[in-house]
Amino acid sequence: MTLDRVKRGQLLKIMSIPDKQIRAQAIRFGIAEGELVNCEEVVPAGPVVIRKNNQLLALGRGLARQISVQCME
Amino acid sequence: MAHCHGSVGLKNIPEGARKIVLVGNPNTGKSVFFNFFTGMYVDVSNYPGTTLEISHGHFGTDVIIDTPGVYGISSFNDEERIARDIILSADMAINIVDAVHLERDLFLTQQVIDTGVPVIVALNMVDEAQRQGLSIDVDLLSDLLGVPVVPTVAVQKKGLNELKERLATAKTGRMTQGLEPLINRLINRVGSRGEALLVLEGDPAVAGRHGLEPENHREDIYLKRREQVNDVVKHVLQESSQGASLGSLLGRWMIKPVTGIPILALALYAMYLVIGVFIAGTVVGVTEETIMLEKYEPAVRGLIGQFISEESALGTILIGEFGVFTMTATYILGLLMPLVIGFYLFLSLFEDSGYLPRIATLVDRLLTGVGLNGRGVIPLILGFGCVTMATITTRLLASDRERKIAVLLLGLTIPCSAQMGVIAGMLAAIGGQYVALYALIIFLVLVVIGTVLNTLLPGKPTDLLIDLPPLRLPRLDNVIKKTSTKSYHFLKEAFPLFALGALIISVFQVTGILEYLQNMLAPLTVGWLKLPKEASTAFIMGIVRRDFGAAGLADLTMAPIQIVAALITITLFVPCIASILILFKERSKSEAAMIWASSWVVAFLIGGIVSQLYSAFGGDSGSRGALWVILSFLGMTLATITACHLARRNKTQESHVGG
């Protein structure tokens, strides 16, 4: 599944972030491949907001579509 | 050692002075520290090769250099490149860490430690962390990082003296594990740990300086560093969980469209009341009318008029209608300054409270349609204040493609506050359906132009990737500081441009070019736009100042539809002369010229279509004509969007087949 398909409240495991630059930037914010994150909010047709501890990160829809995740519940 | 890089390209840094660098993530309150250490005497210079300004000041015999707020140092954008170079040449770094945001901020801290520069950490906003139920073991943090940590509340000056006293204890901290052997392999080759680190992390610019290929260890190092930071945070941070606080609940409401749109509307309405009503009305009434026009201008005319006649060519340029000492001074000090301060005040409030990235998240979807992403909302909002100011802020957009789209949208479709004042007054007099007609057509033009550009320009909009910091009450002193710094920089940058603009127009006036243009424009105004002949004068005035153009129209007697057509034309018409000059400075000459020329075409084309359609649909029967014009424009917009959509789909299909 890709990150643009998730629902609010789901616990997710980040499986892969294909883009090298984005991957590096995400690690800075503590969101790396293999990490568990919560889906905090999904703006309809818009960005997906994920949370890791106290870090909230909004990712545009196009970006979310490239990130594959696994639902942990 | 790192000293071989000398002055990092900044002027006025004495030989041999120690370079102390302030480093931190965005919004950690760095500027408060900077002011505390340097006092009033600060040099601000453009960093070579960029449009970013870097401040530095003296602290005893040392020099304190500020850096842009970044999440890490690398080559992702101009800010990072500058921060990287300044840190690599530093003798010591003061790292400001937001205690509320430890996980995020310590990544940069660890990266700076890994460069081998001696570090002291200022753990800022500890009071706020406490309020949010976070308790941080400062001694343990210091042990784990291997550098001194001083808790501070910078805006209240708490801990700042201690930080100053303990500066000398800054030291090289504990490296990310496993990094040492990698760095040692390169250190003899490149001369410093910092440079070696950046080469390992695949920074092309730093590798290039040493004639090396960038290496491929960025991800390993980042992951190890992240792991180490998480471990540190786990040990030093204790949270007394308190469920969903009001802050996080409100933060969620701001992002969801159902609640977010009303909240945004409310925020913008508050902004309108303060800026549009109070500042543009009451304050500007005093500053522009009473002070500048009634007191200052007669005084300066009298003074200079003693030596140079106002009717002479030089007199016209200095103290004439568009004179450098008369119009430029009045415009900037009387009108622009209060408005710019107002806009920057709101921007700082939104930024400091953490609302701004949430607005960006909320509107991201809308803006990707016109080739921008959520961040593009900042220049677009500022454009309603001053297009020149907004054009400068397009620097913060991620790609050149977005900057290109944003400046064009700003130049063409966004009416600045000075112009809006006059437009609103004229529209209010002719009634509801015309206001709707005007607003809708301008909006549709923005959508069409953005969509077309997004389709035609190569590439795709950059995706939004934005940190949503915890919401907090904005700190008044922080907000005031930010507002004044930004306003000051803007005015300093804009003043010469406005003066130059006034000069060019005065020369046009003296040489008769202005009159020639007015006559040339007349047939177009009368025949195509169906306006009185005098309206062409207003348009020409619009080249100078957008509100001059609109004000010129206010003096004419026109039917409601003529007013709307004229206002649409003047809104879409060329940006004021200062905006154009800033465009020439920010963008390429050909692009700026293209924007200027195309705004002539677009303005007269759209204004004319409105007039022509209205008379074709039966003219004077009031609201029916207006409705038909709106429907036609909606139809044209939908057609354009569909066409663009199809074109984009073909393009991606072709590239799929091709690839």
For chain B, list the domains and their CATH numbers.
2-239 (3.40.50.300), 257-651 (no CATH)
When CB atoms are compared, the residue of A29, A60, A63 closest to B104 is A29
pLDDT at B2 over 50: no
Q: Which of B52-56, B242-246, B253-257, B632-636 has the lowest mean pLDDT?
A: B242-246
For residue A44, the enclosing domain spans: 3-71
pLDDT at B23 over 90: yes
pLDDT tens digits, B390-410:
888 888 787 889 999 999 999
The answer to whether A9 contacts chain B (CB < 8 Å) is no
Burial of B413 (0-12, 13-18, 19+ CB in 10 A): buried
Chain A residues lying within 8 Å of B466, measured CB to CB: 57-58
What is the spatial distance between Cα B186 and Cα B201, in angstroms, rounded to a whole number? 12
In this prediction, residue B361 carries a pLDDT of: 94
What is the spatial distance between Cα B267 and Cα B272, in angstroms, rounded to a whole number? 9
3-state DSSP call for residue B53?
A: strand
pLDDT tens digits, B71-80:
999 888 888 8
- Total structural domains within chain A: 1
Helices and strands, number each (H, E), in chain B: 31, 10
pLDDT at B321 over 80: no
Which of the pair, B44 or B130, is modelled with greater confidence? B130
Touching B: A residues 40-69, CB under 8 Å: 40-41, 43-47, 49, 52-63
What is the spatial distance between Cα B114 and Cα B84, in angstroms, rounded to a whole number? 12
- Hey, of B250, B364, B375, which one would you mutate to test binding to chain A, going by the most A CBs within 10 A of its CB? B364
ipTM of the complex: 0.94
Helix, strand, coil shares of chain B, percent, nearest 5, are: 70, 10, 25
Q: What is the mean pLDDT of residues B180-201?
A: 90
Name the packing angle between helices B589-616 and B560-572 (round to 10°): 170
DSSP B608: H
Given a contact cutoff of 8 angstroms between Cβ atoms, the answer to whether B514 and B594 are in contact is: no
- Hey, of B104, B176, B237, B259, which one would you mutate to test binding to chain A, going by the most A CBs within 10 A of its CB? B104
Q: What is the mean pLDDT of residues A40-62?
A: 90
Confidence of residue B537 (pLDDT cuts 50, 70, 90): confident
Chain B residues lying within 8 Å of A49, measured CB to CB: 255, 361, 468
| CATH code assigned at A48 | 2.30.30.90
pLDDT tens digits, B424-436:
888 888 877 788 8
Confidence of residue B533 (pLDDT cuts 50, 70, 90): confident
Confidence of residue B658 (pLDDT cuts 50, 70, 90): very low
In this prediction, residue B3 carries a pLDDT of: 40
pLDDT at B553 over 60: yes
In this prediction, residue B84 carries a pLDDT of: 93
